[in-house]
Chain A
C-alpha cells in the first residue's frame, strides 16, 4: 500500500521495551473505586444512584446529558458509599463530582446485560445508540464519545474507516498488547463500526515497531477483503488523526475541520474492542488496558483496570518504585498530563501511567530563544512555534491565534527539539485556555445581557398590567357609582310616592 509523507515530526527513542510483550493481566479488585462523572469530552454525566444503594456490574450509575456526553456504568458490583467531590485525574489537581463504589467482591453482572446475535442486521442508528448506551468514548486518550463519530455518516459522505494503531507515543504499549492478544475481537468491532458508518474501505495503520501486532492483525484480517493493514513509518506524531489520514490517503484535512470532511473517520483499536464487547455481549465500557511503565517503576506491566481505580493501586501492583520518580504522567511522555497526586482515579481515556526518573526527564533549565528554527522544521502542522510563543509571552493572544495557534495540536515536537529547552507547549496550552476562557466570558456576557433585558421587559409588563388593572378597577368603580346614582334617581319618585301616600294617609 502506498503511503504519503507528512511534514515535520520527530523521532523520539520509543522505550517501549519496558512494557512491550507483557501480557495484559487483570488488576485485583481494589478496595474502593472513585468513578468521576466527567471522563469524556462534553457535558458532565448526571448521577442516577444514591448513597448506600447496591449496584450490579455494568449497571448504569450516571446518564449522559446532552448530545455530546457519555453515560457511566458500575465497573463491578458493590455499594455506593459516596457521591461528591474527589481529586480529578487532571493537571489542575482540582476536584470533580465523583461516585465512590465499594466493591462487594462478587463481581456480579447486571441481569439485563445481553448482546445482539447479529450486529450486522442492525441499522446504523441502532448500532450508534448501543455504543452510546455502553458509554464508549475514544480510548486513545481524546475521550470523544464514539457514538457521535459513528453517527457522522448522516451528515458526511464517508468512504473510509481508519483504525489508529500507531501508538506513536514512547513507552505506551497498551494498544500494541491488545492488538496482539485480541485481534479477532478488535476486527469484529472494526467491522461493526464500518457497517454503522457505511464505509467500504477499512485501513488499520500500525507503526513498524510493533511487528507482533501487525502479524496478529494481518492474520485475522486476511479473511476480509475490505480490510487493509498498513505498516506506518515510525515517526511522532503519526497517531495524530489528521497526520495519519494524510499518510494513508494523501489527503489533507481542512484547517479546524474534521477528517469526515474528506470522508474519513478514525477510531482507536481499543475503541473497536469496546464496541465488540458492547454489541456482542452487551457489556458497557467499565475497564480498560493501562500501561504502567517508566524507568522508576519496579515491574512495568500492562493491566486491565476497572475504571475508577486509584493510580496508587496500579503502582502498588507493579511493585512500587525502583527509585523516586522525578515526574508522574497520565498518558504518554509527549502529550500526557502531569499527575497531581497518586490517589486520582484511572479514567476511560487513561492509556498509561508513567513514572519517569530524573535521568529520563532530563530537565534542563530553559534559556533564551536563539531563533534557530528547529521548532519550525519539527512542527507537523507547518506552524512557526517560536513566533507564536513570543506573541503569547507578550500577551498578544490574538496575534498568536492569527499565527495559527488554533491549528496547533499540542504534540510537543517543537519543545522536544528546542535547544533552549523552552516550554513551548505550555505557552500554547496557556494561550488556548485563555482564549477559551475569553470566549466563555463573552458568552456569559451576552447571556446575562439577555437576562437583564428580559427582566426589564418583565418588570415593565408587570407594571403595565398593574396600571391597567388599576384603570379597569377605577372604570368599574365609576360605572358602579354611575349605576348606583341612576338607581337612586329612579328611586326618588318612589320616595315621593311614599311621601305622598303618607300625606294621603295623614290626610285620610
Chain B
C-alpha cells in the first residue's frame, strides 16, 4: 500500500512539474524558421536529407545545415538564404550541382502510373497504359519518380535549354 501511494504521488508531482515546465519555460519558435521555410520550395522532396522543408528550415535557421543544402532551390535560393541569415556563402561549389528535372523515355514507359502518384507537385501527366510525360516547369527534381519507376525509364537530367532561357555567358575578359 505504501509503495503504491508513494509511487502515485511521485508520478503526479513529477507530471505536474513537467507540465508547468512546458508551460512556463517554453521556447518560442524562432521567427527565422518560418521565414526560412517560406523561402524553401515546400515540395517536401527530402533531397536535403531532412524529412521535409519544415525540419530543413529549422536546421538551416539553427546553422546546423548549410544554406546550400536545397538542390531544387539552386544558387538563387542559397544566395537568398545567406542574405537572410547574414552569412557569407561560397557558391562556387554549387555551380556543378545544376538543377535537374525528370524526363520520361517514352520507349521504355509502360504506363504503370506509379511515378505520377508519387510526384509531390503533380508534374507528371499520364493515365494507366498511357505514356507519361513531365512538365518541366512544375518539376522540382526530387527524383522520387525515378526511384519508383519499374522500368527505369525516368532520367534526371539538366533542364532543356531553349533560346528563351539561355543566358549570355559572362565574358572571360580582364
Contacts and interface: CB of A to CB of B under 8 A. Distances in A.
Interface of A: 38, 88, 90-92, 94, 96, 365-369, 392-393, 395, 420, 422-423, 426-427, 429-430, 433-434, 436-438, 440-442, 444-445, 447-449, 451-456
A441 B168 contact: no
B22 interface: no
A96 B140 CA distance: 24
B140 A430 contact: no
B97 interface: no
Q: Say what secondary structure dominates the interface of chain A.
A: helix
A320 B120 CA distance: 56
A366 B173 contact: yes
Given A38-B163, A436-B167, 19 more contacts: A38-B164, A90-B166, A92-B163, A94-B162, A365-B173, A395-B91, A422-B173, A427-B170, A430-B170, A430-B171, A433-B166, A444-B138, A447-B138, A448-B42, A449-B41, A452-B41, A453-B42, A454-B122, A455-B120
A437 B163 contact: no
A423 B121 CA distance: 42
B43 A452 contact: yes
A433 B173 CA distance: 18
Contact of A441 (B44, B74, B139, B161): B74
A441 B76 contact: yes
Interface string B19-48: 000000000000000000000011110000
Interface string B127-168: 000000000011110000000000000000000011111111
Contact of B43 (A96, A365, A368, A449): A449
B42 A452 contact: yes
Given A438-B76, A447-B138, A452-B44, A366 B163 contact: no
Interface string B61-82: 0000000000011101100000
Nearest to B141: A448
A461 to B, nearest CB: 14
B123 interface: yes
Contacts of A422: 173-174
24 contacts: A88-B163, A90-B163, A91-B168, A92-B161, A92-B163, A365-B173, A367-B174, A420-B174, A433-B168, A444-B137, A444-B138, A447-B138, A448-B43, A448-B72, A448-B121, A448-B140, A451-B122, A451-B123, A452-B44, A452-B120, A453-B42, A455-B120, A455-B121, A455-B122
A445 B163 CA distance: 21
A453 B54 CA distance: 13
B166 A94 contact: yes
B163 A447 contact: no
B168 A368 contact: no
Q: Which 7 A-B pairs have CB atoms at the shortest separation, nearest pair first?
A: A433-B167, A366-B173, A449-B42, A92-B166, A451-B121, A429-B168, A452-B43
Contacts of A367: 174
Contacts of B77: 441, 445
Contacts of B163: 38, 88, 90, 92, 94, 96
B41 A445 contact: yes
Contacts of A426: 168, 170-171
B120 A423 contact: no
B49 interface: no
In this complex, which of B43, B137, B139, B163 has the most chain A Cβ atoms within 10 angstroms of its Cβ? B163
A441 B165 CA distance: 11
B93 interface: no
Given A430-B170, A430-B171, A448 B41 contact: yes
Contacts of A365: 173
Contact of A451 (B138, B161, B168): B138
B162 A434 contact: no
B170 A393 contact: yes
Nearest to B77: A445
A442 B173 contact: no
A258 B165 CA distance: 25
Nearest to B164: A38
A444 B120 CA distance: 14
A429 B166 CA distance: 11
Contact of A392 (B121, B161, B170): B170
Contacts of A438: 76
Given A38-B163, A453-B42, A455-B121, A448 B138 contact: yes
Contacts of A448: 41-43, 72, 121, 123, 138-140
A98 to B, nearest CB: 12
Nearest to B139: A448
B168 A440 contact: no
In this complex, which of A393, A430, A451, A455 has the most chain B Cβ atoms within 10 angstroms of its Cβ? A451
Contact of A96 (B72, B91, B162): B162
Contacts of B174: 366-369, 420, 422
A502 B17 CA distance: 75
A449 B43 CA distance: 6
A368 B161 CA distance: 33
Given A94-B162, A444-B137, A423 B171 contact: yes
Nearest to A435: B167
Contacts of A436: 167
Nearest to A421: B173
A96 B170 CA distance: 23
A369 B123 CA distance: 48
Contact of A442 (B76, B91, B137, B139): B76
A444 B123 CA distance: 12
Contacts of A451: 43, 121-123, 138
Contacts of B167: 430, 433-434, 436-437
Contacts of A454: 122
A368 B41 CA distance: 41
Contacts of A392: 170
Nearest to A420: B174
A18 B171 CA distance: 32
Contacts of B43: 448-449, 451-452
A470 to B, nearest CB: 21
Nearest to B91: A395
A377 to B, nearest CB: 21
B121 A452 contact: yes
